[in-house]
Structure formats: structure tokens, C-alpha cells
Homo-oligomer: A and B are copies of this chain.
Amino acid sequence: MTKRTIALLTDFGLDDNYVGIMKGVILKINPDVHLVDITHSIDPQNIFQGALTLKTAYSYFPSKTIFVAVVDPGVGSSRQPILVKTKDHFFIGPDNGLLSLALKGQKSKEIYTITNDQYFLKPVSQTFHGRDIFAPVAAYLSKAMPSSKFGRKQHRMINLSWQSPRIDQKNKSIIGKIIDIDRFGNLTTNVEQNHLKGTISVKIKNNVIQELSSSYAKVSKGNLLVIFGSKGYLEIAVNQGSAEKKLKAKIGDSIKIVQKSQKSKKILKQSDLYQEFMDQ
């Protein structure tokens, strides 16, 4: 059997020993896995940020990777631990929406409530299910145990609502917003490639950027640009600088995109943008 990968995403940070403990628990059960950190710097209890970070990362991992995601403000409450099996991967975490953006649109999802405490670390604390439930279940799963061993199938899971850009029909414009800011100060928006037709200009905080760039280097050092970033979303960036600092931007700030070309008459239907996803 090819060695399995367990990829971890939490809001535990790296200053405490929580992540190290989870890895110890996993290796005690299965010494033959790869452990990879996606990140542990999700803002404490920021489920959306965790969900987005998982969504933009998971597809680059090997087939059969087990993703363990723990951003869990409801630990110890009635929220359920779940395991979701997709065609290519496994996802383990609290049923609070954290897994939902990555799972959106994936076919043939099987959702299991994790209830079989035979695979838990005991006594199970009410404050650290990462250690006591999620890590050991991931470890047993990595030994090729069937998902059904861990609990019963369920039909629903909690999904985060994803706010798509808003179309302003009258002005042939699209109003998006900043959903993420990275270390370089690049501003990721919720605008996707298929939202746009033809050439555009972008307005953000009274700055107008007249065209899409294909790389940072297309503008001079220190200048603003708009680009489709590596995550597949429209990003605002500064060549060799920080758009966050230059614009004093923050998550939630809005951007306005104006469709300039003739093709822009064939503007997207509102319904294309607003299709909220419904699972099961």
C-alpha cells in the first residue's frame, strides 16, 4: 500500500504543543504515514477562513489524503464530529461548516457521524477533540479501515453560505469583496474567472485599475494590479509590495468591476452568480 498522507489544518498555532500532540497520537497508531501541515494559523475560531484555506489547498494533495481540519468553537457541545469520503479524499473535522467549502460540488460524498468511541483516546476531553477524536480516527483510517467503522452515514452536513459577487445590472458592474489577505498583502476577492466576460476595469477604495495583468511584473514595482491569482480568484496586488498596506485594505472591503468590452452586454445573469449550493 502506498504510504498515506494526513494533512492537518487547525487554529491551534505553533506556539503551544497541541499540533505536536496530535502528530504523536497519529504516529502511535500508524507510524507509516506522511504528516503535512496545511496551516495552523487560522484565526482562533474563524471557521470561514479555515474552510476557505482548506478549499484552495486540498486538490493539490495525493489521492486518498486524509484531511484533518480543526477549527472548533463548539468543541464539547452537541456539534458532531464527521468524516466525509469523496471520490479522491477523506475529510475529518467538526460538523460546523469547516469542511463544506472544500466539499462543495464534489460528487459522491459519503458523510459519516463519528460515534464509535472504540477509536477515541480515552478519557475523551471536552476541550481537545483534535487529540482525542480527530487524530486517532484519522490514524486508523490511514490504515485503510473502512469509513463505516467510525459511525453511521448521515444525509446532511452544515454548509457555510458563500457570498457570491453581486451584479449591478444597471451599471454593468460586479460588486465583489475581499475574502482573504495573504502574507504578501495580496487581496483575494470572491470574483472567479467565469464571472467575467471581456475586458474590465477595477475600482477599489478610489483607485482604478484599468486592466487585468497576466503577471505581477506587468506593472512597475510598487504599482497596483489586478490578476487572477493562483487560487483561481481575482486578486489585487502590488508588484513587489503589499496591496494590503498600500490600500489599507481589510477583509470584507468591496471592489467594483466594470465590464468594458462589447461582450459585456452579454452580462452574466444574476442567477449564475447567486446559485447557493445545496448539499444532498
Rounded to whole Å, the gap between the CB of A78 and the closest CB of chain B is: 8
Q: How far is the CA of A40 from the CA of B54 in the complex (A)?
A: 19
Closest to A218 in B: B76
Q: Is the CB of A60 within 8 A of B131?
A: yes
Q: Is the CB of B17 within 8 A of A39?
A: yes
Q: How far is the CA of A62 from the CA of B61 in the complex (A)?
A: 26
Q: Is the CB of B127 within 8 A of A60?
A: no
Q: How far is the CA of A74 from the CA of B27 in the complex (A)?
A: 33
Q: Is the CB of B60 within 8 A of A39?
A: no
Q: How far is the CA of A166 from the CA of B64 in the complex (A)?
A: 53
Q: How far is the CA of A75 from the CA of B61 in the complex (A)?
A: 23
Most chain B Cβ neighbours within 10 Å, of A63, A75, A131, A182: A182
| Chain B residues, Cβ within 8 Å of A62 | 24, 27-28, 31
Q: Is the CB of B45 within 8 A of A240?
A: yes
Partner of A183, one of B13, B35, B78, B217: B13
Closest to A127 in B: B230
Rounded to whole Å, the gap between the CB of A126 and the closest CB of chain B is: 4
- Indicate if A108 sits at the interface (CB-CB under 8 A): no
Q: How far is the CA of A195 from the CA of B39 in the complex (A)?
A: 37
Most chain B Cβ neighbours within 10 Å, of A3, A14, A78, A229: A14
Query: Number of A residues contacting the other chain (C-beta, 8 Å)?
Result: 68
- Indicate if A214 sits at the interface (CB-CB under 8 A): yes
| Chain B residues, Cβ within 8 Å of A61 | 24, 27-28
- Indicate if A208 sits at the interface (CB-CB under 8 A): no
- Indicate if A34 sits at the interface (CB-CB under 8 A): yes
Partner of A65, one of B21, B24, B32: B24
List A168-182 residues whose CB lies under 8 Å from chain B: 182
Most chain B Cβ neighbours within 10 Å, of A32, A56, A61, A218: A61
- Indicate if A275 sits at the interface (CB-CB under 8 A): no
- Given the interface contacts A57-B20, A216-B127, A230-B125, does A27 sit within 8 Å of B39 by beta carbon? no
- Indicate if A117 sits at the interface (CB-CB under 8 A): no
Q: Is the CB of B230 within 8 A of A17?
A: no
Q: Is the CB of B17 within 8 A of A77?
A: no
Q: Is the CB of B20 within 8 A of A37?
A: yes
Q: How far is the CA of A132 from the CA of B20 in the complex (A)?
A: 24
- Given the interface contacts A56-B17, A183-B12, A216-B75, does A24 sit within 8 Å of B36 by beta carbon? yes
Known: A21-B38, A76-B216, A127-B230. 7 other contacts (CB 8 A): A7-B20, A13-B183, A14-B40, A17-B56, A28-B63, A74-B217, A76-B217
